[in-house]
């Protein structure tokens, strides 16, 4: 209970905002330790969506009637909330997408295809999620580019010396994960991007795991593009964000074409809309954007600093408890870590761990976490991953530790 | 914990720890490789068939306890059987894994451990991997030895 009193919010009060947390699973109280895969939703997000459909729903950017204007206003308010949250210069720099994956694909397609040439180089890291590898691989194949990977050590920390040796005038894009989803490592992205800028490279931040844990200031970080998904920051699925510097977005080609992203269409030619409209073809995910806006407001009300501090104390407590169990090995032991513990239990496959945990009411992720190269680095088939959010408690972690012990006793 | 014990019975844990028929047949008459990309389970299965009878069967696999022990038990059941008998055992396994165990008696008591797997939908693929790989190996009838 020491932890709760150190921080500026009451976890038991916060938990009441999340209806799902009072559910039972397999006859046991739900202990949800899979927030790195997707976060649960507070009532304010659920209510924002219900409110939209109950009170002011219509298609946006189209109708001259009041209802359409009301939903358009709310949609654009959400864009403003995102702009403020990541400290972008203009709301025109915020593009709504389906998620981080689509945002990264959009950059590869609409920037990479038009501005990179044969022999140019892209740098990513060994710990990327597949979503920040495969779009660049496809682009490299098409345009005959070179894709380089910043290696890491066995703690899961990037080897920055190796990175600096890779940089040259050929480096056109440096795209880096802020917090590793499978290791929890917080990468020194400010340093990485400052170095990239010395060679004039475009910088891309995959903020999927950091947007909900830490304050992000795109201007301070020297970040040209940033991608994240709404469902990782307590918002709905199917909505995400691409941030891009205005001058870059303006010169880029559209990703998809169709309705709402045009100024004028004739049989001969089309004039595209200004950003961000140019990148939002077709009817958008209106409830997704409005739900995301509500989620950001919720996080702002708690205060991202408070969240970060509390989650870090959960990580410290859980790590110290896990280390007491000799049969368990933590994968990912970086100095700077977010609230993720990936681990393996001696002689027990993660899927057996996952099934036993589930019977005990504990939801964790098992597998490769869409980071197969990370698994290869550590020469393991998969891990079990527990990830903690601000709605988790010390009791949750105690149940988690007891579940590990139960697994060990079954397989003993 | 009784429900868990139903899935992780002693016999499963034993076959997981000490898999039977583990290894390679250097020049098998039949062979196949199976993957479960969702969880990274992987099996190499080698079968020696002579005069329509399985005279030897071996495997090597990485994966969870369910997939490994299922493979081990499958090999013990198939060894020495004719191809027709083997297909019957496969069909019985398939029935158990999709619909559970009916009141009718099982042809072999070792099949009983699969009765509870259908209650764990996410694990059915783990239990089936070796069996599907087996079916593939004997159906292909391609000589892997040459």
Does the pLDDT of residue A271 top 80, yes or no? yes
Same domain, A277 and A258: yes
* pLDDT (tens digit per residue) in B55-70: 999 999 999 999 999 9
pLDDT of A6 above 70: no
Residues of B in contact with A359 (CB under 8 A): 3-4
pLDDT (mean) for A276-297: 97
Whether residue A339 sits in one domain with residue A204: no
Contact list, B122 vs chain A (CB under 8 Å) = 355
Query: In this predicted structure, what is the pLDDT of residue A262?
Result: 85
pLDDT above 90 for A60: yes
pLDDT band at A1 (very low <50, low <70, confident <90, very high): very low
Complex ipTM, two decimals?
A: 0.85
| CA separation for the pair A131, A156 (Å, rounded) | 19
User: What is the CATH number for A354?
Assistant: 3.90.1150.10
- Give chain B positions within 8 Å (CB) of A352: 8, 64-66
Distance from C-alpha of A230 to C-alpha of B139, rounded to nearest angstrom? 48
- Does residue A320 sit in the same domain as residue A291? no
- The beta-strand segments (E) located in A30-82 are 31-32
In tens, the pLDDT along A319-340 reads: 999 999 999 999 999 999 999 9
Other CB atoms within 10 A of residue B144 CB = 15
Q: Average pLDDT for residues A240-259, to the nearest whole number?
A: 96
Which candidate, A346, A345, A323, A347, places its Cα nearest to that of A333?
A323
What's the structural domain count of chain A?
2
CB contact under 8 A, A349 and B123: no
Residue A109 has pLDDT above 90, yes or no: yes
Residues of chain B with Cβ-Cβ distance to A26 below 8 Å are 3
The tens digit of pLDDT for each residue in A130-142 reads: 999 999 999 999 9
* Residue B31: partners with Cβ closer than 8 Å, 6 or more residues away: B25, B44, B45, B46, B47, B137, B144
Indicate whether A185 and A288 sit together in one domain: yes
A355–B7: do the CB atoms touch at under 8 Å? yes
The CATH code of the domain that includes B33 is 3.90.1010.10
By C-alpha distance, the chain B residue nearest A370 is B38
Residues sharing a CB contact under 8 Å with residue A220, sequence separation 6 or more, in sequence order: A87, A190
Shared domain for A222 and A318, answered yes or no, is no
For residue B125, the chain A residue with the least C-alpha distance is A351
Q: Which among A356, A382, A406 has CB closest to B40?
A: A382
Residues A110 and A18 in one domain: no
- Which has more confidence, A403 or A7? A403
Which residues, other chains included, contact A299 with Cβ-Cβ below 8 Å and sequence gap of 6+? Answer: A85, A212, A233, A234, A307
> Which residues on chain A are in Cβ contact (under 8 Å) with B40?
367-368, 375, 381-382
How far apart CA A265 and CA A77 sit, in angstroms, is 28
Q: How far apart are CA B44 and CA B134, in angstroms?
A: 10
Size of interface A-B (CB pairs under 8 A): 44
Chain B residues with CB under 8 Å of A348 CB are 65
Measured in angstroms, the CA of B45 and the nearest CA of chain A are apart by 19
What's the rounded Cα separation, in Å, for the pair A138 and A108? 9
Q: Is the pLDDT at A3 greater than 60, yes or no?
A: no
- The whole-number pLDDT of residue B7 equals 79
Report the pLDDT value the prediction gives residue A113, as an integer from 0 to 100: 96
Domain CATH code at residue A250: 3.40.640.10
Closest partner residue to A382 among B3, B39, B126, by Cβ? B39
Place of tokens 């209650």: B119
Claim to verify: residue A61 and residue A173 sit in the same structural domain: yes
Residue among B38, B40, B65 whose CB faces A381 most closely: B40
**Strand duo A340-345 + A328-331: pairing:** antiparallel
CB atoms within 10 A of CB A219: 11
Residues of A at the B interface, defined by Cβ within 8 angstroms: 26, 348-352, 355-356, 359, 366-368, 375, 381-382, 406, 410-411
Q: Are A404 and A322 in contact (CB under 8 A)?
A: yes
What phi, psi does A189 have (nearest 5°)?
Answer: -70, -30
Same domain? For A156 and A220 the reply is yes
Contacts of residue A376 in chain B, CB cutoff 8 Å? none
The catalytically annotated residue of A58, A273, A356, A370 is A370
Q: Which chain B residue is nearest to residue A411, measuring alpha carbons?
A: B13
pLDDT category at B140 given cuts 50, 70, 90 is low
pLDDT, averaged across chain B: 88
Residue that terminates a domain, selected from A243, A271, A300: A300
Q: How does residue A62 score in pLDDT terms, banded at 50, 70 and 90?
A: confident
Residue in chain B nearest A353 by alpha carbon: B64
Whether A3 maps to a domain, the answer reads no
Residue A121 sits in which domain range? 47-300
For an interface test with A, the pick among B17, B39, B62, B71 (most A C-beta atoms closer than 10 Å) comes out as B39
pLDDT(A29) > 60? yes
Residues belonging to chain B with any Cβ–Cβ distance to chain A shorter than 8 Å: 1, 3-5, 7-8, 13, 38-40, 62-66, 120, 122-123, 126
Mean pLDDT taken over chain A: 95
Number of structural domains found in chain B:
1
Query: In which band, very low, low, confident or very high, does the pLDDT at A9 lie, cut at 50, 70 and 90?
Result: confident
Confidence of residue A363 (pLDDT cuts 50, 70, 90): very high
Domain contains A312: yes
Sign of the Cα torsion A128, A132, A138, A140 reads negative
Chain centroid to Cα A193, Å, comes to: 19
For residue B144, pLDDT over 70 is answered with: no
* A259/A117 same-domain check: yes
pTM score: 0.92
Model pLDDT, residue B146:
37
Residue B74 confidence (pLDDT) above 90:
yes
Cβ-nearest to A351 among B4, B8, B126: B126
Task: Kindly state whether residues A225 and A319 are assigned to the same domain.
Answer: no
- Specify if A203 maps to a domain: yes
Query: In the predicted model, what is the mean pLDDT of residues A340-345?
Result: 98
| Distance in Å, alpha carbon of A370 to nearest chain B alpha carbon | 10
- Measured CA to CA, the distance from residue A93 to residue A80 in angstroms comes to 10
pLDDT at A47 over 50: yes
Look at residues A300, A324, A343 and tell me which one is the last residue of a structural domain.
Answer: A300
Domain end position, chosen among A239, A265, A300: A300
Residues A20, A168: one domain?
no
Query: Quick check: B123 and A350 CB within 8 A?
Result: no
Q: Do B8 and A382 touch (CB under 8 A)?
A: no
Kindly state whether residue A25 falls inside one of the protein's structural domains. Answer: yes
Distance, CA of A156 to CA of A163 (rounded, Å): 15
Q: Is A370 a catalytic residue?
A: yes
Q: HSE, CB side, 13 Å, CA atoms: give it for residue B141.
A: 6
Q: What is the extent of the structural domain holding B106?
A: 3-145
CB atoms within 10 A of CB A357: 24
Asked if residue A146 and residue A53 are part of one domain, the reply reads yes
User: At A189, is the pLDDT very low, low, confident or very high (cuts 50, 70, 90)?
Assistant: very high
d(CA A41, CA A265): 41
Res A361 pLDDT > 80: yes
Report the chain B residue with the minimal C-alpha distance to residue A368: B39
User: A351, B64: Cβ pair inside 8 Å?
Assistant: yes
pLDDT digits (tens, 9 = 90+) for A73-107: 999 999 999 999 999 999 999 999 999 999 999 99
pLDDT at B118: 87
Residues in B closer than 8 angstroms to A410, CB to CB, are: 4-5, 8, 13
Cα–Cα distance measured from residue A69 to residue A63, given in angstroms and rounded to the nearest whole number? 7
Nearest Cα of chain B lies from the Cα of A384 at a distance, in angstroms, of 11
User: Which one, of A233, A180, A225, A190, lies nearest residue A205 by Cα?
Assistant: A225
Residue A6 lies in a domain: no
């Amino acid at each position: 209970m020491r932890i709760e009193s150190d921080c500026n919010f009451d976890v038991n009060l916060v938990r009441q905002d999340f209806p799902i947390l009072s559910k039972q699973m397999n006859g046991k109280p739900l202990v949800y330790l899979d927030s790195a895969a997707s976060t649960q939703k507070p009532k304010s997000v659920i209510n924002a969506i219900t409110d939209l459909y109950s009170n002011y729903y219509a298609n946006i950017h189209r109708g001259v009637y009041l209802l359409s204007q009301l939903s358009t206003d709310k949609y654009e308010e959400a864009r403003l909330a995102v702009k403020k949250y990541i400290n972008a210069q203009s709301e025109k720099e915020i593009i709504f997408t389906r998620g981080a994956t689509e945002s990264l694909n959009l950059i590869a397609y609409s920037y990479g295809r038009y501005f990179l040439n044969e022999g140019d180089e892209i740098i990513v890291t060994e710990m990327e999620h597949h979503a920040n590898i495969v779009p660049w691989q496809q682009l490299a194949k098409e345009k005959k580019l070179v894709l380089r990977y910043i290696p890491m050590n066995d703690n899961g920390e990037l080897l920055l010396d190796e990175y600096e040796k890779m940089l040259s005038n050929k480096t056109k894009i440096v795209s880096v994960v802020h917090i590793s989803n499978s290791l929890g490592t917080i990468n020194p992205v400010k340093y990485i991007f400052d170095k990239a800028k010395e060679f004039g490279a475009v910088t891309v931040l995959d903020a999927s795991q950091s947007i909900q844990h830490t304050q992000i200031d795109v201007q301070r970080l020297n970040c040209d593009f940033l991608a994240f998904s709404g469902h990782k920051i307590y918002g709905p699925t199917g909505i995400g964000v691409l941030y891009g510097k205005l001058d870059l977005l303006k010169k880029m080609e559209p990703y998809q074409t169709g309705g709402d992203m045009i100024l004028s269409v004739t049989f001969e030619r089309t004039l595209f809309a200004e950003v961000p409209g140019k990148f939002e073809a077709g009817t958008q995910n209106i409830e997704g954007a409005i739900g995301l806006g509500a989620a950001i407001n919720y996080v702002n009300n708690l205060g991202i600093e408070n969240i970060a501090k509390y989650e870090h104390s959960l990580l410290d407590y859980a790590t110290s408890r896990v280390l007491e169990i000799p049969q368990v090995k933590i994968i990912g032991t970086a100095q700077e870590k977010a609230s993720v513990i990936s681990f393996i239990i001696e002689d027990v496959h993660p899927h057996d761990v996952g099934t036993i945990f589930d019977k005990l009411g504990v939801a964790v992720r098992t597998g490769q976490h869409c980071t197969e190269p990370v698994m290869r680095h550590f020469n393991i088939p998969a891990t079990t991953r527990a990830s903690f959010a601000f709605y988790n408690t010390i009791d949750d972690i105690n149940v988690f530790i007891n579940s590990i012990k139960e697994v060990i006793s079954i397989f003993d | 914990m009784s429900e868990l014990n139903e899935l992780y019975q002693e016999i499963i844990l034993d076959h997981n720890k000490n898999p039977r028929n583990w290894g390679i047949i250097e020049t098998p008459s039949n062979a196949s490789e199976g993957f479960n990309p969702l969880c990274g389970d992987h099996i190499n299965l080698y079968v020696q068939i002579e005069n329509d009878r399985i005279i030897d069967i071996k495997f090597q696999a990485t994966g969870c306890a369910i997939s490994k022990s299922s493979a081990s038990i499958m090999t013990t059941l198939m060894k020495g059987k004719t191809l027709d008998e083997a297909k019957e055992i496969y069909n019985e396994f398939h029935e158990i894994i999709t619909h559970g165990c009916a009141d009718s008696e099982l042809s072999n008591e070792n099949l009983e451990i699969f009765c509870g797997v259908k209650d764990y939908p996410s694990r059915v693929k783990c239990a089936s991997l070796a069996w599907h790989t087996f079916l593939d190996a004997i159906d292909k009838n391609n000589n892997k030895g040459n």
